[in-house]
Amino acid sequence: MDLEQFSTGQRNKPLSVSCYQEAPSYSQISPSNENVISDRWQPWWEGYQPISYKLCTRSGNETEFRDLVTRCNNVGVYIYVDAIINHMCGTTAGAGNHSTCGSYFNAKTENFPAVPYSVWDFNDGKCKSRSGDIEDYHDIPQVRDCRLSGLLDLALEKDYVRSKVAEYMNHLIDIGVAGFRIDAAKHMWPGDIKAFLDKLKDLNTQWFSAGTKPFIYQEVIDLGGEPITGSQYFGNGRVTEFKYGAKLGTVIRKWNGEKMAYLKNWGEGWGFVPSDRALVFVDNHDNQRGHGAGGASILTFWDARLYKMAVGFMLAHPYGFTRVMSSFRWPRYFVDGQDVNDWVGPPSNSDGSTKPVTINADTTCGNDWVCEHRWRQIRNMVIFRNVVDGQPFSNWWDNGSNQVAFGRGNKGFIVFNNDDWAMDVNLQTGLPAGTYCDVISGEKEDNRCTGSQVYVSGDGMANFQISNHAEDPFMAIHVNAKL
């Protein structure tokens, strides 16, 4: 199964429209609770600065949110909410009702009456750094008890705070959400996370089997070299494997002498967390802007040709629980290597309202919504992943450089040419004999193929020819694309 992350700010209402398309089985949406409004331009990161647990943001109100969840659940697209639990807004947010629901707050006195939280519900007394912020990532108590970038750090060892968090998450479960991304999990004690997760209800039986637990994945940036590791959080659920996108980007870009041939032991062999604990992605809302983790190697929609290859590899490979990004464009402007517009929020009208997600004739999106999940190559690789689910990694081949191929048992096969010369090889696919439609250059429609065709002989062999100048220098076939 596959997970799709919608970029920060997409409207609840247009988002629900995409539930009726060929969407992945799960969608991660932006934070759903009330947040600060920092200025009239409303940067995207406002959504990560809570004021209360009321369900109203720039994306819509609670009625619209309920409609989104219901409509998506009814067509088998289940919603994961990005849960901001570690903190409230930043210390510089001031006081007033400049928030998405209009709730009053005072960041200076740490007063959030709409929850309610008071000064006693924050970690100021526990933090031992001079500034009150995290200053040393090798000091575990500091990372977990001090303020992340000035954000007011909640005292999650208090049962009252745990109960308010669980109350919010249970409200979302009642509405019908299927799980949660736990933002900034690295900045919370694993035992505190367990304590509020233990208070959660089973999922709503209107859509889920009785006794089904919410799916949990925790944002833990662990690139190595720090005492806090992803493995410390395995008891609570999956963890984000940030090394995945950073390393895959380096390989696909052919930086530092890396080659795709080296991907033969991809996964745990590269020092990643165990597959059944990993949530993996090529990019996310932070690192596609140079924030978070991964650095310059991260591939994004701005690097579309290489990006499609990386996402294709991720979706074909059995390692981890995969997440596909769905973004919006912003006016990038680099000064001394830094994008000074990395704060820009979703496509908006002159009055600040978010533009709707329009759908083009070819099913891609307009209005500066990128919608990578709708790109034919990525959409079809999501289908590929579902077709080959449970099949073993098999029939690896490489040329010692950047031409590689592998199969998934007798259900699917994928081939890449990331070299600077043409590819013409005969490979063992492991697939039944027949004519297959390449789902990268086209797709099967009725009983014909809109793209290239691949002929698999009785012994499972097939010839693959991929130009290094091709728009998409990779091919993929699976049993449901057999003519």
Catalytic residue among 183, 258, 438, 472: 183
Write the single-letter amino acid at 441.
S
**Taking the mean position of all CA atoms in its chain, how far away is CA 454?**
32
Q: Is 219 in the active site?
A: yes
Which entry of 219, 222, 283, 419 is annotated as an active-site residue? 219
Find where tokens 């109203």 sit.
56
DSSP β-ladder status, 448-449 and 87-90: unpaired
Are 402 and 259 in contact, with CB atoms under 8 Å apart?
A: yes
Complete DSSP assignment for 277-313: GEEEES--TTGGGT-SS-GGG---GGGHHHHHHHHHH
Q: 125, exposed or middle or buried, with CB in 10 Å at 0-12, 13-18, 19+? A: exposed
Task: Report how far residue 317's alpha carbon sits from residue 76's, in angstroms, rounded to the nearest whole number.
Answer: 24
Instruction: Write the DSSP string, 319-369.
Output: SSEEEEEE-B-----EETTEETTTT--S-B-TTSPBPP--B-TTS-B-TTB
Chain centre distance of CA 352: 26
Dihedral of alpha carbons 118, 169, 221, 418, sign: negative
Tally of CA atoms within 13 A in the half-sphere of 422 that contains its CB: 4
Look at residues 426, 425, 419 and name the one whose alpha carbon lies nearest to residue 461.
Answer: 426
CA-based nearest residue to 324, from 334, 311, 310: 311
Let me know: does 179 contact 214? Beta carbons within 8 Å.
yes
Which amino acid, one-letter code, is at 82?
D
Rounded-to-integer distance, Cα 209 and Cα 204, Å: 8
**474 forms bridges with which residues in the sheet?**
416
What CA–CA distance (Å, rounded) separates 312 from 309?
Answer: 5
Nearest to 239, CA basis, from 220, 213, 215? 220
Q: What is the rounded distance in angstroms from the CA atom of residue 226 to the CA atom of residue 48?
A: 24
Active site (catalytic) residues: 183, 219
